[in-house]
Amino acid sequence: MITENNLSENEEKNPNEVSQETSENTSSPDVNQHEDDTEHEEHDDVEISLADALKEMEKIINTPNAGENFKRFNQLKEKASHYIHDEVEDKKHEYVEAGNAPENFSYEHPSQAKLSALINIFREKHDNFQKGQEEEQKKNLEHRQNIIERLKNLYTSSEPGVNLFKSIREIKEEWSKAGQVAKSEFKILNNNYFHHLNQFYQMLDLNKEFLEQEYSHNLEKRQHIIARARELENEPVIQKALNELQYLHKLWKEEAEPVAEEFREKTWEEFKEISNKIHERKSELSAAIEQEQAVNLEKKNQIIAEIKKLSEPSETPNHSYWQNAIRRVEDLRSEFLKTGSVPRKLSNQNWNEFKTTLRGFNTIKNNYYKSLKGSQQTNLEEKLKLIQTAKDNMNNEEWDIAVPLFKKLQEDWKKIGHVPKSMTNKIWDEFRDACNAFFNNYREKSNTSTDNWKENYKNKKALLDELKEVSNEEGSIEKIEAIKTAWNNIGKVPRDKISINSEFNKTLREKLKINKINELELKEEGLSENQLTDKARKIKNQIADLEAEIVKLENNLSFFNKSSRENPLLKDTYNTIDEKKAHLETLKQNLHNIIAGE
């Protein structure tokens, strides 16, 4: 005869054995093992960027129970460390390629300090979490031991008149709500509980009505678990079904109390059979994951192939080609990192091939720019010669010789290629000033007889007076543009009246300020070729400054976890970015109009 105690031992054993039996019948891993594997697949191989990994690590340490996310934090830490190591290796590769000794290489990755800080903070939080868990589990152990003692007293020394039905219900309810204890304590504790529970039922053997009620209640618990397990057979998300099945086995182990003998083996076999069927579906999950990983591998191989192709252009590449290639490779790199996991056995090989291909691209690109630096130096020397010739002849008044000379100097300047960026503006200003000095002298001397300077002064004085009356009312900008255009079309003034030009420019700046418009945004006509060139250069410089300011502001926003427009602290920053972008578009349109001759 199977006693209640024997049943308790049998039932305590079976829930632990279900995974093993299922494994033997279906060649599938046990429930716990499957859950661990799935979590590994969900996180370990997914390629996320270094910035995203650090952001998620920061998010974890800011959660109330940060320490319980130990496994996920470690996966992110490994990923971040891997990225930093690769990027440092890239820098070392470039350093050595430039002809430097490897032992002299020194580089501190900009994200290393943040990573170290996050690790130290998490380590402290995890230690505190562990201590808290240990203290809580110790309290829970003591609480559960007290519950078992109360259960034992219920059938060994209960006083007459005690409502046993109510008392056992309270004890079982309290047991189900008691917190977790250490794994090393749980099995013995659980066996002890069910042992005394069976002893209680044996004590109640004479009260058949109460025993039948208890068995009926316990059978209902088992049937609920079985019914939910049966629903999981049709759950479309396989992983969800497997995870919930794991939870149902935990319930069975901890809460499926004894039932009438005729239902004991039957209910367990029914639950075990459903569990085996659900486990068989793991092959579907594995097949889906393998298919997705195969697609990801194909995408990543295509990205690698495209980077290789960019490294080997069919025609001789120029500066424009490499600038476009650099942007494209950066996009491809981001796409590679965003693409999901690949088959585990090919993961390292695929990643190493990607890094090798990237380094190959950078090597070829760097070699091009090394050679370009040599040609830029040659171009600089040629332009310096043109500047010297222009300076030597800027006061030459033999117009038949000097005018063609300066025109040829300007043509030769355009034909010479790029010079080092640090010298571009400096030498252009020198060359332009020498050319302007010559042509101003040429116009002044050749137009003296026809240029009515006094009349010009009178007209400019009238325009200046008109400009002074302009306010910031509607239509003021159009008035300013008309006055500026008229001013540009008026010739020189007497030398003793030349200060009117400075006064006009000062007044113009004041009017532009109250109308909130930049001088470079004005639509004006009557500019000479040199004036147009000078304006175009100023617009280009301001466009570059604005773009740099916008990038800096947007980078600053990225340091905030909630960098949305709804954040009141960032509202002004977003408004500033919008204003600068609007200004930028206006300048670009003006530059386009100058280049197009509109």
Residue-wise pLDDT for 388-423, tens only, equals 998 999 888 887 788 888 888 888 888 887 787 788
> Tokens in use for 29?
């891993």
First CA to last CA across the chain, in angstroms?
106
Average pLDDT, the chain: 78
Q: Mean pLDDT over residues 431-440, rounded?
A: 89
Task: For 236-258, write each residue's pLDDT tens digit.
Answer: 777 788 888 888 887 787 666 77
* Cα(451)–Cα(444) distance, integer angstroms: 9
Q: DSSP letters of 128-189?
A: HHHHHHHHHHHHHHHHHHHHHHHHHHHHHSPPTT--HHHHHHHHHHHHHHS----HHHHHHH
The more confident residue out of 361 and 160 is: 361
Asked if residue 94 has pLDDT above 80, the reply is no
Asked if residue 112 has pLDDT above 80, the reply is yes
Q: What is the model's pLDDT at position 14?
A: 35
Angstrom CA distances, 281 to 238, 284, 294, stand at: 7, 5, 20
Residue 576 — pLDDT band, cuts 50, 70, 90? Answer: confident
* Cα(315)–Cα(48) distance, integer angstroms: 35
Q: Mean pLDDT over residues 332-353, rounded?
A: 85
Q: What is the model's pLDDT at position 35?
A: 38
Nearest to 118, CA basis, from 66, 40, 45, 49:
66
Q: What is the model's pLDDT at position 525?
A: 67
- Least confident among 41-50, 53-62, 99-108, 575-584: 41-50
* Cα(425)–Cα(542) distance, integer angstroms: 13
Asked if residue 570 has pLDDT above 80, the reply is no
* Cα(349)–Cα(301) distance, integer angstroms: 11
Task: For 120-163, write each residue's pLDDT tens digit.
Answer: 888 888 888 888 888 888 888 888 888 888 888 877 776 666 77
Angstrom CA distances, 39 to 36, 85, 248, stand at: 5, 25, 19
Q: What is the model's pLDDT at position 518?
A: 73
* Cα(30)–Cα(235) distance, integer angstroms: 19
Nearest to 82, CA basis, from 106, 115, 59, 43:
115
Q: What is the model's pLDDT at position 41?
A: 40
- Least confident among 8-17, 282-291, 493-502: 8-17
Q: What is the model's pLDDT at position 36?
A: 39
Q: CB within 8 A of 379, min separation 6: which ones?
A: 416, 417, 418, 419
Asked if residue 480 has pLDDT above 60, the reply is yes
Q: What is the model's pLDDT at position 562?
A: 65
Percent of the chain clearing pLDDT 70 (strictly above): 85
Q: What is the model's pLDDT at position 563?
A: 66
> Tokens in use for 150?
């109360």
* Cα(182)–Cα(180) distance, integer angstroms: 7
Largest Cα span, the chain: 137
Nearest to 202, CA basis, from 249, 155, 169:
155
Asked if residue 48 has pLDDT above 80, the reply is no
CA atoms within 13 A on the CB side of 99: 3
Most confident of the following: 80-94, 157-171, 306-320, 429-443? 429-443
Q: CB within 8 A of 449, min separation 6: which ones?
A: none
The more confident residue out of 566 and 50 is: 50
The more confident residue out of 172 and 260 is: 172
Q: What is the model's pLDDT at position 302?
A: 92
Instruction: Please name the amino acid found at residue 403.
Output: V
194: helix, strand or coil: helix
Task: For 10-30, write each residue's pLDDT tens digit.
Answer: 333 333 333 333 333 333 333
Q: Measured on CA atoms in the order 61, 62, 64, 69, is the torsion positive or negative? A: negative
Q: Mean pLDDT over residues 364-381, rounded?
A: 78
Q: DSSP letters of 18-86?
A: HHHHHHHHH----HHHHHHHHHHHHHTS----HHHHHHHHHHHHTSTTGGGGHHHHHHHHHHHHHHHHH
Asked if residue 9 has pLDDT above 50, the reply is no
Helix and strand numbers (H, E) in the chain are 20, 0
Q: Mean pLDDT over residues 341-351, rounded?
A: 85
* Cα(579)–Cα(15) distance, integer angstroms: 67
Residue 491 — pLDDT band, cuts 50, 70, 90? Answer: confident
Q: What is the model's pLDDT at position 170?
A: 85
Q: Mean pLDDT over residues 150-179, rounded?
A: 78
Map tokens 């960026």 to a residue.
421
> Tokens in use for 554?
């947007």
Q: Mean pLDDT over residues 43-60, rounded?
A: 75
Q: What is the model's pLDDT at position 21?
A: 33
Q: Mean pLDDT over residues 105-132, rounded?
A: 85
Nearest to 322, CA basis, from 388, 250, 371:
371
Q: What is the model's pLDDT at position 442?
A: 81
Q: What is the model's pLDDT at position 447?
A: 62
492: helix, strand or coil: coil
Q: Are 553 and 573 within 8 A, CB to CB? A: yes
Asked if residue 549 has pLDDT above 80, the reply is yes
Task: For 444-469, write each residue's pLDDT tens digit.
Answer: 776 654 457 788 888 888 888 888 88
